[in-house]
Amino acid sequence: MRSQMFTEIREVVKEGKGFTTLRFRFARNALPGQFVMVWLPDIDEIPMSLSYVEDFKGITVREVGVATRALSSLRVGDSIALRGPFGNHFEPSHGLNLIVSGGTGAASLMPVAEVVGDKRRVDVAIGARTRDEVIFENRARLSSSEVRVSTDDGTYGMKGTAVDLARIMMKEKRYDMILACGPEMMLRSLLELSKEYGISCQFSLERFMKCGVGLCGSCALDGKRVCADGPVFRREELESVSEFGKYKRDEAGLKVSL
Amino acid sequence: MRSQMFTEIREVVKEGKGFTTLRFRFARNALPGQFVMVWLPDIDEIPMSLSYVEDFKGITVREVGVATRALSSLRVGDSIALRGPFGNHFEPSHGLNLIVSGGTGAASLMPVAEVVGDKRRVDVAIGARTRDEVIFENRARLSSSEVRVSTDDGTYGMKGTAVDLARIMMKEKRYDMILACGPEMMLRSLLELSKEYGISCQFSLERFMKCGVGLCGSCALDGKRVCADGPVFRREELESVSEFGKYKRDEAGLKVSL
Amino acid sequence: MKSLRVSVAGIILKNPTILASGIIGETGRSLLSAIEAGAGAVVTKSIGLNVRKGNTNPTLVELPYGYLNAMGLPNPGIEAFGEEMSIAIRGGAPVIGSVFGQSAEDFALLCSRMQKYGASAVELNLSCPHASGYGMEIGVDPDNVSQIIRAVKRSVSIPVFAKLTPNTERIVEVGRAVQEAGGDGIVAINTLKAMAVSIEARKPILSNKIGGLSGPAVKPVGLRCVYELYEELDVPIIGAGGIETWRDALEYMMAGAVAVQIGSAVGKKGLKVFGEIGSGLARYLKSRGMEGLDELVGVAHA
Amino acid sequence: MKSLRVSVAGIILKNPTILASGIIGETGRSLLSAIEAGAGAVVTKSIGLNVRKGNTNPTLVELPYGYLNAMGLPNPGIEAFGEEMSIAIRGGAPVIGSVFGQSAEDFALLCSRMQKYGASAVELNLSCPHASGYGMEIGVDPDNVSQIIRAVKRSVSIPVFAKLTPNTERIVEVGRAVQEAGGDGIVAINTLKAMAVSIEARKPILSNKIGGLSGPAVKPVGLRCVYELYEELDVPIIGAGGIETWRDALEYMMAGAVAVQIGSAVGKKGLKVFGEIGSGLARYLKSRGMEGLDELVGVAHA
Ligand SMILES: Cc1cc2nc3c(=O)[nH]c(=O)nc-3n(C[C@H](O)[C@H](O)[C@H](O)COP(=O)(O)OP(=O)(O)OC[C@H]3O[C@@H](n4cnc5c(N)ncnc54)[C@H](O)[C@@H]3O)c2cc1C
Ligand SMILES: Cc1cc2nc3c(=O)[nH]c(=O)nc-3n(C[C@H](O)[C@H](O)[C@H](O)COP(=O)(O)OP(=O)(O)OC[C@H]3O[C@@H](n4cnc5c(N)ncnc54)[C@H](O)[C@@H]3O)c2cc1C
Ligand SMILES: Cc1cc2nc3c(=O)[nH]c(=O)nc-3n(C[C@H](O)[C@H](O)[C@H](O)COP(=O)(O)O)c2cc1C
Ligand SMILES: Cc1cc2nc3c(=O)[nH]c(=O)nc-3n(C[C@H](O)[C@H](O)[C@H](O)COP(=O)(O)O)c2cc1C
Ligand code: FES
Ligand code: FES
């Protein structure tokens, strides 16, 4: 085992405005929904979902601050150091799956669409704020029979949120499982929606992560450690979690409203 | 891995005057010629060859001092703690092997006779000081086509040493390999004899052992560590070893004449 | 199941396994989850006077035989921690409030708040190896330690435990200072001062450079400390360092620990480690026909 | 192959790997075999004034991540060791004579004999954690250490290295005392004071009860010590503790070591470990287009 293991960036893909995919080799088995801790010396070490889980792995970064900006500016030949993969993973249903992605959520969701390996069992709803931020639409089409897009500002696809889109799709078809990742308020609404329809779900959540291995407690979500007990939670788990969609914790462990 | 792992004595066999075999389970793979470190709390931890290397393992102890006396007085249900097995092992020839045992030497040699698995490829010469000290004669017969015995005082078998006996046997048959264990002066003579006949040999040696894992250097034989590079040495190795048959080292590393 | 009950300075634990400080102990519900998983008691994250964010990541290095961490004592501050305590104490198991400070006054203040919040005992972190000005700098000086213990003893009525560092040749001296100042127990050990270097980055991996080593690698050091302390002291000793199995726990108890804390194993094995150690100990007692753990504490000194 | 030559206080090593003290170093021919296997230099077993048998077995416990030993400084005494030295120095690599004593006079006497025997340098074992009256008891007191170094420096002209214990919070202070007293280099670290308990025997396994932990478990502690010493001192530092691969060696060099000692890995990997580390370092230099190791020493401090 080596911790903070360096690997070279082999490919850089600009996915859309502010989104960059970095591809690299990392000889560890990974499953859809798992994440890695990415270290940029002198900057930070941050959690990133694996957007590609096969041999030629990848992460897809949205630029939001110092570390993600530094990551987004890397070029082929540069190196990053990784630990992981960590956490549990998505387990798609053997029936019909609806994948609901908000923003960067697509990063952890694409691998699960691909792992199903049967287009007829996967539909995808991609939500973004605006046209430029829609990512992985074409990738989704390769593994799904139906891909629809919504944007908050209506510049592309349906005008509305990913949840609005999901609602429409759920009216049209009977899904067996909703797999989702995105802003927590979106997931909160999606949980309500899935309860309405009585559909199982698995949502991937984010919390402030330091250790990534279930020790430090910084990623606490009620009594659960998002890094180790999650990041993927089922509907039943989320229903019993008082903090879901309400609070997260900052670096000091203080409660912060979402 | 557990160090100094306890196991219960399942069987105690008095082999002859001053020789006791203790049988026990010890779930580690072992090869003929390897040894274990045997700990008796409050007494000592000493090296002992495995006289049985299969699942139901064993050691055969000659009473010579405090630790061996304590070992010899153990009963079924008592426990000893083991580390190991350590060291390299005998590799019998695919041709005809002559096993030459002096005293407790038989302990490490019987397993190699058995591992050959073909009586026609094994002859055994057992040397002892006196009749009561001849051990494993019957056991040897089960895996060899010819077993002869010598005693120093002539009370059983031929009168003479194991080397005298080996000399006779070597005149009668052409052996491909001599496998031997016993007092070092005996091995020294046997080395000369095997040179005369141009026969390969593998001898198992003893030195003062503390760590058993090749660290402390207390088992030094010239630049070799008997515990890790041995205890089994080939003719070529022994010919280049200045201390063989001459000196050993005491607990302080001081040279002592053999 | 044989009774695994132990009493530590008058506090009754249903079994001798305790969640170590700094392990998921920043929130009340996390502490509850350790209790639900079978911990006999839980120790909170070390709490200070003020909000602290701790160090920038990387704060953790994974090693084959343990972890190296330099969290930097992140915590929401004693004020905000009251809410977490009120949740934690609902678990029905003793909650031990860990605190860190720079002066005897800091410690006294923090401990009296912890008592008010319902802590069954307080644990003074005199031993963090990587937060400068706190922890081990003050915990290696017997006089300093003595002063802190006295101040805390004046301010609380619940038992006061001191958590000691192994990064000194004076651990027994410091332990004696704790005892003589009226401390009710000793926790040993905190992490070993250590480092990891990335040869690719050509620098220490931790943003703080230096961190604390924990896990199986430190077990032999922890055992030695407990053994040495037990030889010299009368106050109860709580063992910590590299405990992953019931065998490890028993080694510590034979060396002199009345109870054990479990930290790194929560990362490697999850919270189920508490239940596993508990049932392993119960099986051991049963197979030996023993009634309780008391008769095992310190037997390695015979 | 790029040159792996390093100079330590003026002594030239063909590569930076050194056999650590106490590892097969009791006899001349064993030392030769380490040189033949590729060690850049060898350190003898620590030799004292008189014959010592060391402790009764068990003197070693094998752990998944290292060893625990309490050999008890067995050695044939400085008198008899002359014969071994005369053999060892035939190897053509520097032989460093390690010595232990109870007073400055002991050390001075032992070192002058080592010099007479042809040692390229002496290494003062101020750090054995388990032989009482020798080693770490005297090695944690800067004044004491200072006195010893001065006495030795007066009695020999070869470089004098002090081997320090990590079992103290004062390692940098002690290192400074060595430097100020004229010591030519520091070796860090010796083993960590530790113990193993057998739950079946209900007692410590080592006959000496307490021993020294070595191997991968202590690498993070050794690295931290080297890093801290390098920050404060100007004399060369030789790193030791858990080095098994060229990567480990490089971590130590980046932390500030000019050369490295290898102990426990000889048990786990055999003497070939020297050659393996050497060729690994050479490959590294080549792949980076570097001319030598010098430019790597201490880079982790940038
Ligand atoms: C399990 C998991 C998977 C993630 N996967 C992705 C992904 O695939 N793509 C992607 O773009 N982003 C992902 N994120 C979010 C990503 O980690 C943050 O955007 C990133 O850490 C921000 O760092 P920064 O320095 O750029 O921004 P900063 O300015 O430091 O922080 C911006 C915000 O990011 C969050 N953040 C910062 N540091 C952390 C941290 N250590 N842990 C969690 N959140 C943090 C905080 O909410 C903070 O307010 C994931 C987060 C988690 C927990
Ligand atoms: C690889 C190896 C395999 C051995 N196999 C056997 C065996 O199968 N059966 C058997 O009866 N004996 C065997 N021996 C010898 C056995 O280890 C000694 O007889 C035993 O250690 C004596 O211990 P004691 O306390 O009874 O006697 P002591 O009175 O302590 O010593 C008697 C003599 O035994 C030798 N001895 C003592 N301690 C050790 C030690 N730690 N290492 C090596 N020699 C020691 C010394 O020569 C000493 O003078 C073996 C030795 C070695 C090195
Ligand atoms: C991630 C992490 C955070 C820790 N935080 C604290 C802390 O806040 N206060 C404290 O006293 N000890 C802290 N420790 C030390 C542990 O409580 C424990 O003493 C040490 O890790 C040894 O036990 P272990 O080997 O079981 O982990 C921390 C340890 C780890 C691994
Ligand atoms: C069996 C054994 C014997 C040792 N004897 C000595 C000794 O005599 N003198 C000494 O200075 N160090 C001695 N040491 C310590 C080593 O030289 C070294 O400092 C320590 O083991 C750390 O390095 P490692 O992890 O590579 O083993 C001994 C170590 C072992 C394992
Ligand atoms: S990030 Fe440390 S417990 Fe989850
Ligand atoms: S017994 Fe220690 S090296 Fe052989």
pLDDT at position C132: 65
Counting from 1 in the atom list of ligand 3, the atom nearest the Cα of C261 is: 26
Pocket lining: B104 vs ligand 2, CB cutoff 6 Å: yes
- Which residue ranges in chain B fall short of pLDDT 50? none
CB-based burial, C277-293: b 16+ in 10 Å, e otherwise: bbebbbebbeeeeeeeb
C-alpha C217/C-alpha C207 separation (Å) is 22
Tell how far the Cα of C191 is from the centroid of ligand 3, in angstroms.
Answer: 6
Same domain, B48 and B151: no
Mean pLDDT of D273-277: 98
What confidence tier does A89 reach under pLDDT thresholds 50, 70, 90?
very high
Same domain, A69 and A105: no
Is B107 within 8 Å of B60 (Cβ atoms)? yes
Same domain, B72 and B135: no
How many structural domains are present in chain A?
2
What confidence tier does D135 reach under pLDDT thresholds 50, 70, 90?
low
Same domain, A148 and A247: yes
pLDDT at position C135: 66
Cβ–Cβ gap D53/B228 under 8 Å: no
Q: Among the three residues B23, B53, B86, which one is the final residue of a domain in this structure?
A: B86
Residue span of the structural domain in which B167 resides: 97-257
C-alpha C209/C-alpha D218 separation (Å) is 17
Whether A223 has its CB under 8 Å from any CB of chain C: the answer is yes
C241: alpha, beta or left? (left if phi > 0; alpha if psi -120 to 50): left
Instruction: Find the CATH number of the domain harbouring B42.
Output: 2.40.30.10
What mean pLDDT, rounded, does chain D reach?
95
Same domain, A15 and A128: no
| Cis status of the peptide bond prior to A32, with omega within 30 of 0 | no
What confidence tier does C104 reach under pLDDT thresholds 50, 70, 90?
very high
Q: Concatenated DSSP letters for chain B? A: --SSEEEEEEEEEEEETTEEEEEEE--S---TT-EEEEEETTTEEEEEEEEE-SSEEEEEEE--SHHHHHHHT--TT-EEEEEEEES------SS-EEEEEEGGGHHHHHHHHHHH--GGGEEEEEEESSGGG--SHHHHHHH-SEEEEEETTSSSSEES-HHHHHHHHHHHS--SEEEEES-HHHHHHHHHHHHHHT-EEEEE-----SSSSSSS-TTEETTEETTTT-SEEEHHHHHT-TTTTTEEE-TTS-EEE-
List residues bridging with A23 in a β-sheet.
A11, A58
Tokens at residue A94, please?
A: 């053997």
Mutate to test the interface with C, among D195, D202, D230, D244 (most CBs of C within 10 A): D195
pLDDT at position D127: 83
pLDDT(C133) > 90:
no
Q: Does B39 reside within a domain? A: yes
Is B232 within 8 Å of B201 (Cβ atoms)? no
Residue D99, φ and ψ in degrees, nearest 5: -135, 155
C-alpha D59/C-alpha A24 separation (Å) is 48
Cβ–Cβ gap A228/C270 under 8 Å: yes
C-alpha B212/C-alpha D270 separation (Å) is 13
What confidence tier does C136 reach under pLDDT thresholds 50, 70, 90?
low
List residues bridging with B158 in a β-sheet.
B150
Instruction: Find the CATH number of the domain harbouring B162.
Output: 3.40.50.80
Pocket lining: C219 vs ligand 3, CB cutoff 6 Å: no
pLDDT at position C2: 59
Cβ–Cβ gap D224/C193 under 8 Å: yes
Same domain, A134 and A247: yes
Tokens at residue B188, please?
A: 């020294």
Q: Does B92 reside within a domain? A: no
Pocket lining: A102 vs ligand 1, CB cutoff 6 Å: no
Tell how far the Cα of D23 is from the centroid of ligand 6, in angstroms.
Answer: 9
Cα angle D116-D119-D123, degrees, rounded to a multiple of 5: 115
Q: What is the DSSP letter of D58?
A: P
- Considering chain D, what percentage of its residues have pLDDT values greater than 70? 97
Total beta-carbon pairs less than 8 A apart between chain B and chain D: 124
Q: Among the three residues A26, A51, A86, which one is the final residue of a domain in this structure?
A: A86
Closest alpha carbon to A133 in A47, A258, A12, A14: A14
Same domain, A65 and A117: no
C-alpha C186/C-alpha C257 separation (Å) is 9
Chains C and D touch (3+ CB pairs under 8 A): yes
ipTM score here? 0.95
pLDDT(D134) > 80:
no
Closest alpha carbon to A57 in A77, A83, A29: A29
Cβ–Cβ gap A215/C52 under 8 Å: no
Shortest CA distance from A256: residue in chain C:
C76
Instruction: Burial-class residue B1 by CB neighbours within 10 Å (0-12, 13-18, 19+).
Output: exposed
D32 vs B45, B223, B255: nearest CB: B223
pLDDT(D130) > 80:
no
Mutate to test the interface with C, among D199, D245, D264 (most CBs of C within 10 A): D199
Q: Whose CA is nearest to atom 10 of ligand 2?
A: B61
Residues of C acting as catalytic residues: 128
Mean pLDDT of D267-291: 96
Same domain, A233 and A127: yes
Residues of D acting as catalytic residues: 128
Task: Sort out which chain C residues have CB atoms less than 8 A from D167's CB and list them.
Answer: 168-169
- Considering chain C, what percentage of its residues have pLDDT values greater than 90? 93
Match 């009561």 to its residue by tokens. Answer: B132
Whether B251 has its CB under 8 Å from any CB of chain D: the answer is yes
Question: Which CA distances in Å does C139 have to B193, C69, C126, C146, C235?
Answer: 70, 19, 4, 10, 18
Is B201 within 8 Å of B194 (Cβ atoms)? yes
Closest alpha carbon to B91 in B201, B245, B5: B201
Same domain, A103 and A165: yes
Shortest CA distance from C136: residue in chain D:
D169
Same domain, B16 and B131: no
Same domain, B79 and B122: no
C-alpha C4/C-alpha C40 separation (Å) is 9
Cα angle C107-C110-C113, degrees, rounded to a multiple of 5: 145
Q: Does B91 reside within a domain? A: no
What mean pLDDT, rounded, does chain C reach?
95
pLDDT at position D132: 65
The domain spans of chain D are: 6-53+72-190+214-301
List residues bridging with B159 in a β-sheet.
B151
Closest CA–CA distance from residue C197 to any residue of chain D (Å): 6
pLDDT at position D155: 97
Number of other residues whose CB lies within 10 A of the CB of residue A76: 12
Closest CA–CA distance from residue B34 to any residue of chain D (Å): 17
Pocket lining: A218 vs ligand 1, CB cutoff 6 Å: no
pLDDT at position D1: 47
Mutate to test the interface with C, among D167, D168, D171, D197 (most CBs of C within 10 A): D197
pLDDT(C89) > 60:
yes
C-alpha A159/C-alpha A161 separation (Å) is 7
Shortest CA distance from C168: residue in chain D:
D168
C224 vs D66, D195, D202: nearest CB: D195
What confidence tier does D2 reach under pLDDT thresholds 50, 70, 90?
low
pLDDT at position D131: 67
Same domain, A205 and A126: yes
pLDDT(C128) > 90:
no
Cβ–Cβ gap D199/C254 under 8 Å: yes
C-alpha D137/C-alpha D100 separation (Å) is 12
Q: Among the three residues B41, B65, B86, which one is the final residue of a domain in this structure?
A: B86
Tally the C-alpha atoms within 13 A of residue A181's C-alpha that lie toward its C-beta.
Answer: 28
Mean pLDDT of C268-294: 95
pLDDT at position A211: 97
Tell how far the Cα of C189 is from the centroid of ligand 3, in angstroms.
Answer: 9
Cα angle C245-C250-C251, degrees, rounded to a multiple of 5: 100
Tokens at residue B130, please?
A: 């006196």
| Cis status of the peptide bond prior to D171, with omega within 30 of 0 | no
The residue length of chain B stands at 258
C-alpha C201/C-alpha D281 separation (Å) is 17
Chains A and B touch (3+ CB pairs under 8 A): no
What confidence tier does D201 reach under pLDDT thresholds 50, 70, 90?
very high
The residue length of chain D stands at 302
Q: Whose CA is nearest to atom 26 of ligand 3?
A: C263
What confidence tier does D27 reach under pLDDT thresholds 50, 70, 90?
very high
Tell how far the Cα of B47 is from the centroid of ligand 2, in angstroms.
Answer: 6
For B174-187, what is each residue's pLDDT tens digit? Answer: 999 999 999 999 99
Kindly give the residue spans of alpha helices, DSSP state H, lying in chain D: 28-36, 77-88, 104-116, 136-139, 142-155, 171-180, 219-232, 246-255, 264-269, 272-288
Pocket lining: D44 vs ligand 4, CB cutoff 6 Å: no
Tell how far the Cα of A182 is from the centroid of ligand 1, in angstroms.
Answer: 12
Pocket lining: A249 vs ligand 5, CB cutoff 6 Å: no
The predicted model scores a pTM of 0.96
pLDDT at position B257: 87
Whether A248 has its CB under 8 Å from any CB of chain C: the answer is no
Is C229 within 8 Å of C175 (Cβ atoms)? yes
Class of D6-53+72-190+214-301 in CATH: alpha beta
Shortest CA distance from C64: residue in chain D:
D65
Q: Does A69 reside within a domain? A: yes
pLDDT at position A258: 82
Closest alpha carbon to D124 in D103, D100, D157, D96: D100
pLDDT at position C139: 84
Q: Whose CA is nearest to atom 8 of ligand 3?
A: C22
Mean pLDDT of A168-180: 94
C-alpha D222/C-alpha D141 separation (Å) is 19
Number of other residues whose CB lies within 10 A of the CB of residue C232: 12
